[in-house]
C-alpha cells in the first residue's frame, strides 16, 4: 500500500486529467477512487448507450475500461498512453445498470506496463474483463499543468 502523500499525488494527477477528459465527462463517468496504479470509476447505462438489441454497446464498455486503465497508468504522474488493449464481454449490460470499472497495475516497468480492468454491475457480477498495455512518454504530467487545470476549474486566470 502506498503512503498518504503518494495517494494524494495520484488523486491530484488524475483529477487534472479528468478535468480535461471531455469523453469521460460526457459519458457520465465518475471517479470513485484513485491510488497509485489503481483507479475505480462508475457510470450508469443510459438509453443512448444501447445497441439494436437493447443491450449496452460494447464500445461503451470498452470506453469505460479504457478510461479506468488510463487513469491507473497515469496515476504516478508520468504521462502514459495505450499501446493496445482487448476486452472480453462476459454477460449483457442493460439500461439502467450501474457499472464500476476497477483498473489495477499488474506490471509497470520503466517504459511499459500491463493493467487489468474488471467491470462489474450493481449486483457485483462481472460483465467484462479488459487488459491494457501502457507506454510511458518522456514528459511527465507536470505540476504546472495540474495547477493550471485546477485554476481553470475555479475560474482563476
CA distance 2 to 8: 10
Cα 50–45–34 angle (5° rounding)? 135
Distance CA 57, CA 49 (A): 6
Tell me if residue 64 falls in helix, strand or coil.
helix
CB 13 within 8 A of CB 46: no
Per-residue confidence band for 14, with pLDDT thresholds at 50, 70 and 90: very high
- What's 130's domain CATH number? 3.10.129.10
* Full-model pTM: 0.87
Write down the number of H helices and E strands in the chain: 4, 6
- Structurally, the chain folds into a number of domains equal to 1
pLDDT confidence of 68, banded at 50, 70, 90? very high
Set of cell numbers at residue 91: 454477460
pLDDT tens, residue by residue, 16-62: 999 999 999 999 999 999 999 999 999 999 999 999 999 999 999 99
Confidence band, pLDDT 50/70/90 cuts, at residue 141:
confident
Note the helical H segments in 21-57: 22-26
Q: Which domain holds residue 146?
A: 1-153
Taken as a whole, the chain contains a residue count of: 157
pLDDT of residue 1: 47
In sequence order, the β-bridge partners of residue 143 are none
**Higher per-residue pLDDT: 9 or 86:** 86
Give the side-chain half-sphere CA count within 13 A for 147: 4
> How sure is the predictor about 138, in pLDDT bands with cuts at 50, 70 and 90?
confident
Q: Which residues pair with 107 in a beta bridge?
A: 114
Amino acid at each position: 500500500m502506498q503512503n498518504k502523500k503518494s495517494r494524494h499525488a495520484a488523486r491530484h494527477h488524475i483529477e487534472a486529467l479528468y478535468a480535461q477528459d471531455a469523453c469521460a465527462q460526457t459519458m457520465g463517468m465518475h471517479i470513485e477512487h484513485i491510488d497509485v496504479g489503481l483507479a475505480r470509476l462508475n457510470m450508469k447505462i443510459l438509453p443512448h448507450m444501447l445497441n439494436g438489441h437493447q443491450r449496452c454497446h460494447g464500445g461503451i464498455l470498452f470506453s469505460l475500461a479504457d478510461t479506468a486503465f488510463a487513469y491507473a497508468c497515469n496515476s504516478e504522474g508520468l504521462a502514459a498512453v495505450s499501446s493496445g488493449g482487448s476486452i472480453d464481454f462476459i454477460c449483457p449490460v442493460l439500461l439502467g445498470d450501474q457499472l464500476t470499472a476497477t483498473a489495477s497495475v499488474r506490471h509497470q516497468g520503466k517504459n511499459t506496463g500491463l493493467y487489468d480492468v474488471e467491470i462489474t454491475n450493481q449486483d457485483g457480477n462481472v460483465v467484462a474483463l479488459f487488459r491494457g498495455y501502457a507506454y510511458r512518454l518522456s514528459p511527465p504530467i507536470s505540476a504546472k499543468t495540474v495547477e493550471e487545470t485546477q485554476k481553470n476549474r475555479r475560474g482563476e486566470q
